[in-house]
Amino acid sequence: MKQLEKLDKYHVILASQSPRRKMLLEKLDIKFEVRTYRYYETLPPQIDPCDVAECIALQKALYVPKDELPKNFLLITADTIVVIDGEILGKPKDEKEAVTMLEKLSGKRHEVMTGVVIITENVVKNFTEKSKVWFKDLTKTQIENYVKKYQPLDKAGAYGAQDAEAEIIDRIEGSYFNVIGLPIGRVMEELLGIEF
């Protein structure tokens, strides 16, 4: 995108293990590289669910060794969570937990929150994008078949909108890309707002 050409002065790094975030950032048509780091998240006690994703994204950014970053770096980190009735659903540990999560979401509305952090040598930007998602009423058989077919163990809430949107999702209010894992419209807006 022509308006993002000014980012050429930066060495853009996406610190993420998510292939979906890489795919989404590629839509902005900017040059970047992906780096992965082992990261163990910790959260303050009694943190508001609305703050969790942004807190984890910030921890991920702070975990990156700055002496390993090139000059003129621009680092992007993100974290996505699913929240229903005040309960945070992260990544399921196994198929059984994935089925349990999807049963909680079936026929109800939940929120998907992605926290994003953008850091340069002189700038720190962080924000949380929220989308509302309504699930269809799903039978246990439909849920079990979905889990077997898509193996969504690497996804918050045990589902990926891009996998089987028509099968499980009734409607989405807000950014669809946010539900996948990176709200690229908002990311572009924040990148354009960086002072050069």
Tokens coding 178: 């946010």
**Which DSSP state fits 136?**
P
- For the question of residue 51 being annotated catalytic, the response is no
CA 68 to chain centre: 24
Q: How far apart are CA 71 and CA 35, in angstroms?
A: 16
Closest CA to 120 of 1, 39, 5, 12: 12
Radius of gyration of the chain (CA): 17
Contact 159, 100 (CB under 8 A): no
Other CB atoms within a 10 A radius of the CB of residue 134 amount to 14
First to last CA, the chain: 18
Q: Which of 8, 51, 67, 79 is catalytic?
A: 79
Instruction: Please identify every residue annotated as catalytic.
Output: 79
